[in-house]
Structure 1
Amino acid sequence: MLIDTTLDKSNYLGVFTAFPEQFTKTLELIGDKKVEGKFENVIICGMGGSAMPYDLLAAYLSYKHIDLNLYVSRTYSLPKEASEKSLIIISSYSGNTEESLSCMDEAEAKKYTIVGFSRGGQIEERCEAKGYPYVKYPEEPAEFQPRAAIGYSFSSMLYFLMNSGLIPDNKAEIRELADFLSGFDLQSRAEEMAAEIGDLIPVIYTTDEYQNTVARIVKIKFNENAKYPAFFNSFPELNHNEMVGYTQKAEQFYFIFFKDSTSHPRILKRMEITKDLLEEKGAQVVEVEMQGATFLQKMFHTLLFGDYLTTYKALANDIDPTPVKMVEDFKKML
């Protein structure tokens, strides 16, 4: 073991060992829960980890060519696409996120169709009082973080949409995903890379279809788990602008290329050339091959690796990965 894990006071690493179980637990939890009716669009209202299901669902639906108008609100109000023909999903792990509750107020005032997803809090209370459909996430220890619950939130919303007839039912693929994720030991390489990063700033690059899922979410996990700055972008767009910025000071960054070997041949060529150019400028570049036979397997395998990587990065810097003190301090000042 390269990194001392005694600072992991809440056993955050253990959360990821159990992560595949989130998909199977949620299937039992959802059962036949659904909403009746036809909708022109679905709007997810959430912040932070509770908005990540939107990015994951949008990427999955796009890849599968499933026609569903899906939108997100990461603020206090509903987007312009909201109407009486919308299904409004109010998402907050705690059930008390003020932006999500503000969207709920607006949806209630306009008599839109509402469904709530949370572990409890005001969302649960209001859904039960008004008779709205409601999905309650499984109980976890108090220190369990919303950012670690994306298996619960993604799969529960996916199952709910399937049950409601808004997208094709493909629950078997999710069961296969849980089995697939259970078959990997990701910790060794994640620990090695975390130690290797040192004082360098991570930059996460992947292909366009994974930009708002893998690249963005791993970047966020560096911020929240490791309490460390990080950046992200995707091929081929970065070849038209961002890479020029590393003409100088490239040696201060640690580039992580998450690589899908089934990507367009020109994308793979771009990744190869970009790696060579960055290394010529003194940068350290590491390629991580995405594993899996399906889009979901590749996406969640890489996200799980990112969780281990960023948690080990926290421990390498003598930081407890679980708390987000700056967020809590901010809330007290707001």
Structure 2
Amino acid sequence: MVGNNSNPMLELVRAMPEHLLAGYDIGCGQQPGRADDALVITGMGGSAISGALLAGVAADSSPVPILCSRDYDLPAAVGRRSLVIAISYSGNTEETLSGFNVARKRGCRLAVITSGGRLAAEAARARIPVVIVPTGLPPRAALGFLFGSLLALARSARVLRLTRKTVIAASTLLATRYETWRRKAGRLARALGDNLPVVYATSRLSEPVAERWRCQINENAKLLCHSSILPEHNHNEIVGMGAPYAMRSSHLFTLVDDSTHSRTRLRLKHLLGITRGTYRKATILAAEGESRLEQALSLVLLGDLLSIELAASREVDPLPVTRIEELKRRMARN
């Protein structure tokens, strides 16, 4: 698909660097208060991934645990000394609205990131800090705005040591490497062919990135994708590789970064040797950039581009998510 610029989703992926910095600047306009014992991000799908990425980026420095809650309720330990940030791009995600209301009842400190909807209205009535991001995007394509805003709130809450210069550096890396990564995504899509994509993370930083790959390939390419993480994989999934037979037609994409432990790298080498014959191909992909933020986002953008390339090769429109919308309609009737 290289050379075709008429794909709306591709253009939204191209805009991620701009959206990231814009989201950060928007988020700097709100002061959510401190997270004394935990930062909890409640959200679902394309909105929730921002929280998972934050947890990965801040894993080596955050003074408090960062939890991602993707359910109607919140963990019992979340209370008055916790900061809960509710993220719903539409503002109408029922699980997120439920988690938001649970946090209010418990007296948690609260902040909201959304483009509008019921969540924005309820937060405004309760005088809860609200970051309003631009509307009109598929939630999964609003990652730059949502994650950028969350970075700003996490910095304000003293959970993340970050400056605007750090965000600019990440945005610049994504913009300058975009065309190179787009061509690389095209090669990866051709190498995958009709095989099953399986994405392995190798660190806390790359774990949410592998999840993002899985979600984007499922939604954009309408193609089933599996993800897992090393070294945990080596204690269970390694045994089942190759069964059923369809798994033998899998292409393993393994994401590595500077924080990948040397023993995990050794495990990966042995894993690929022990299980040879249970997969069709294996590709190791290294993160680019200097900071943890840059490294995470470099692999995020590559995965997003791969999902668009796969959609093109499968001749499917990456925008519609018909089954998700149908499920929402059925849930609304009950």
CA distance in 1, matches of 2:36, 2:51: 17
Q: Which runs of 5+ in 2 are unaligned?
A: none
Change (3 A) 1:319 1:62: same
CA distance in 1, matches of 2:279, 2:30: 54
Instruction: Tell me the residue number matched to 2:329.
Output: 332
CA distance in 1, matches of 2:228, 2:283: 15
CA contact (8 A) 2:189 2:309 kept: yes
CA contact (8 A) 2:201 2:207 kept: no
Deviation for aligned residue 1:97: 0.6
Read off the aligned partner of 1:168 and give its amino acid letter.
R
Aligned match of 1:28 in 25, 42, 46? 25
Instruction: Tell me the residue number matched to 1:90.
Output: 86
CA distance in 2, matches of 1:302, 1:23: 15
Deviation for aligned residue 1:119: 0.5
Instruction: Tell me the residue number matched to 1:313.
Output: 310
Aligned match of 1:107 in 98, 103, 112? 103
Read off the aligned partner of 2:229 and give its amino acid letter.
S
Q: Which runs of 5+ in 1 are unaligned?
A: none
The answer to whether 1:243 aligns with 2:238 is yes
Aligned match of 1:226 in 221, 224, 227? 221
What's the CA shift string for 1:122-169, capped at 9, x where partnerless? 111122222111100124xx3x21112222222212211222444434
Instruction: Tell me the residue number matched to 1:199.
Output: 194
The answer to whether 1:179 aligns with 2:172 is yes
Change (3 A) 1:128 1:287: same
Change (3 A) 1:36 1:272: closer
The answer to whether 1:124 aligns with 2:120 is yes
Secondary structure of 1:232 counterpart: strand
Deviation for aligned residue 1:247: 4.5
The answer to whether 1:155 aligns with 2:148 is yes
CA distance in 2, matches of 1:5, 1:251: 35
Read off the aligned partner of 2:26 and give its amino acid letter.
L
TM-score, normalization by structure 1: 0.89
Aligned match of 2:54 in 57, 69, 83? 57
Change (3 A) 1:208 1:161: closer
What's the CA shift string for 1:62-99, capped at 9, x where partnerless? 12x22123223211122212212222212100011111
Change (3 A) 1:181 1:2: closer
Number of aligned residues? 327
CA distance in 2, matches of 1:79, 1:20: 34
Q: CA RMSD in A?
A: 2.3
Q: Which piece of structure 1 moves more, 80-89 or 309-318?
A: 80-89
Deviation for aligned residue 1:263: 3.2
Aligned match of 2:71 in 72, 75, 81? 75
Change (3 A) 1:262 1:167: closer
Instruction: Tell me the residue number matched to 2:265.
Output: 268
Q: Which piece of structure 1 moves more, 193-202 or 314-323?
A: 193-202
Map of 1:269-308 to 2, 5 A cutoff? 269-281=266-278, 283-308=280-305
Deviation for aligned residue 1:324: 0.7
Change (3 A) 1:90 1:200: same
Deviation for aligned residue 1:40: 2.5
Q: Which piece of structure 1 moves more, 78-87 or 281-290?
A: 281-290
CA contact (8 A) 1:61 1:67 kept: no
Read off the aligned partner of 1:183 and give its amino acid letter.
T
Read off the aligned partner of 1:54 and give its amino acid letter.
G
Deviation for aligned residue 1:270: 2.5
Secondary structure of 1:51 counterpart: helix
Read off the aligned partner of 2:307 and give its amino acid letter.
T
